[in-house]
Amino acid sequence: MKFNIYGRHQLEVRRENDAWEVVRRESETRMRMEPFIPSFLETEDDATYLDDIYDELAGPGYDNKLLS
């Protein structure tokens, strides 16, 4: 899944060996991040969890979007 976090970050999230792997995209660079999404969360809960973590980045006209 790909997420646009309030127009500031692009994250790719995928399930790997019963854990969530998170990759942050900056322009053409991809940086693997330490998994911070609890492994017990279901796929449909990822967007809500990311919204809770990055809520300080929220501003007028921006929201947390699932891109794919």
Domain chopping of the chain, boundaries:
2-66
Side chain identity at residue 62, one-letter code: Y
DSSP per-residue codes, 3-45 = EEETTTEEEEEEEETTEEEEEEEETTEEEEE---S-TT--GGG
Residue 35 confidence (pLDDT): 58
Instruction: Average the pLDDT over 39-52 and give the result.
Output: 86
Tokens of 10: 């692009």
Residue identified by tokens 């017990």 is 40
Q: 56 pLDDT band (50/70/90 cuts)?
A: confident
Q: Using CA atoms, how far apart are residues 61 and 25, in angstroms rounded to an integer?
A: 21
pLDDT at 59 over 80: no
